[in-house]
Amino acid sequence: MGKLVMGYWDCPYCQYQGISGDQGKCPQCGRPRGDVKFYMKGYAEGQTREENERGDIEYLDEEKAKYVNRNPDWYCSYCNTLNSDNAEKCSNCGATRADSEANYFDQLKKRQQQQQQSAQAQQAQQRAPEKGGSKKWLIFLAVAAIAIFGIVKFMSGNTTQGDLKVTRIEWARSINIEQNIQYSESGWTLPAGAELTAQKEEVHHYDTVLDHYQNVQVERSREVLDHYETYYTYKDMGNGYFEEVANERPIYKTEYYTETVQQPVYRQVPRYQTKYYYTIWRWTPARDVKATGDDHNAQWPEVTLRENEREGQRTEAYAFQVVNEKKNTTAAYQLSEADWRNIKVGDNLFITARRTGSGAFISDKDGNKIADIVQIK
């Protein structure tokens, strides 16, 4: 058994504090010790003390400790007085112990349950106004969502711009000319149409192959038990005293050692394959022949092919430019050739687009689509 330590209690009637646990009545108001909680001075419940941190512990001397009953006090069911486990009758009212069942720890558990229920009730009361606050928060979120939806819908809507006068039309056509050029190349396969000039056995790749194992010294570490340290906790005995309980915690140290392990050693083995060297003719983009104009007479440029040349890809683009005389702004758009041929310099157009500026098209004054266009500047 551990050493006994003096406990203390506070009078629940007159609030007199620091009464030693061996006193059954309050020295100030004279009332018997009622529903109290014992404590140690300078020590919080659940704390631990190291071997060298016990200088302020108030131990009972061994002679006095011999006569202390280590069982908890019992509560008188009639007057709520704490009585020693040795007493068969209540020191305050004389009622017999047989008529009382609860001891100090039973009463402590009951008090803790009451405190827990009281805390839960307080939390429920605090949450009640929060429900109203949650409602307000939900209303705020709903209003914000509606506002965001309205903004998105507005931005995704269309706006039609009038007073636009066509000031210029343009077209451009281009033909890419390809030239047949002979290249000297090499590879692991011979392409169709290639003329072989040489072939050799060369390294295609390397395979990693296990060669052998070698012994290697490796340093390792492990945690091993070094010793035990004693620390102390203090148990409420429920009778005005506390019992010191010795506990042990293991202390480990890091131990280093070497170990011989087998480590694989690999080598690189070359793998050979036939490599082909050849010449091959390829059609290669060489130059562009272009034609442009500012009228509706779009035509392809005349092409004069040189030796080993041919016509390649053809590209074309059709555009117009408008001016907003009220705002003194200009813009240029591209569109299909068929729609472009319906536009003339001097025409007045309506152009509809999203408020973000994307998805523009030629429209009537009511925003009905006539032709798709793409803004280029």
Distance separating alpha carbons of residues 142 and 156, to the nearest angstrom = 21
When pLDDT is averaged across residues 199-228 and rounded to a whole number, the result is: 97
pLDDT of residue 314: 97
User: What is the pLDDT at residue 56?
Assistant: 92
Identity of the residue numbered 167: T
What pLDDT sits at residue 151? 54
150 or 2: which carries more pLDDT confidence? 2
| Secondary structure (3-state) at 154 | helix
Residues 6+ apart with CB under 8 A from 92: 32, 76, 79, 81
Which residues, other chains included, contact 152 with Cβ-Cβ below 8 Å and sequence gap of 6+?
none
Residue 49 has phi, psi (to 5 degrees) of -125, 135
Asked if 82 and 7 count as a contact pair (C-beta separation under 8 A), the reply is no
Looking at residues 208-224, what average pLDDT do you find?
A: 97
* CB distance 287 to 267 below 8 Å: no
Q: What is the pLDDT of residue 158?
A: 72
Mean pLDDT of 312-337: 94
Q: What are phi and psi of 341, to 5 degrees?
A: -70, -15
Answer whether residue 98 shows pLDDT above 70.
yes
Helices (H), 274-360: 337-340
pLDDT above 60: residue 47: yes
What mean pLDDT value characterizes the chain? 90
Angle at Cα 110 formed by Cα 104 and Cα 111, nearest 5°? Answer: 90
Q: Would you place residue 326 in the very low, low, confident or very high pLDDT band (cuts 50, 70, 90)?
A: confident
The sign one gets for the Cα dihedral 303, 309, 310, 316 is negative
Contact between residue 92 and residue 79 where contact means Cβ atoms under 8 Å apart: yes
pLDDT digits (tens, 9 = 90+) for 124-162: 777 665 555 566 677 777 777 666 655 555 544 578 888
User: Would you state the pLDDT for residue 131?
Assistant: 52
| pLDDT band for position 253 (cuts 50, 70, 90) | very high
Q: What is the spatial distance between Cα 178 and Cα 286, in angstroms, rounded to a whole number?
A: 5
Q: How many residues does the chain have?
A: 377
pLDDT confidence tier of residue 302, bands split at 50, 70 and 90: very high
Question: What is the pLDDT at residue 225?
Answer: 97
Q: Please list, in sequence order, all residues whose beta carbon lies within 8 angstroms of the beta carbon of residue 354, skipping any fewer than 6 positions away.
A: 155, 156, 157, 158, 159
3-state secondary structure of 151: helix
Higher model confidence: residue 130 or residue 374? 374
Reported as a single tens digit per residue, the pLDDT across 266-280 is 999 999 999 999 999
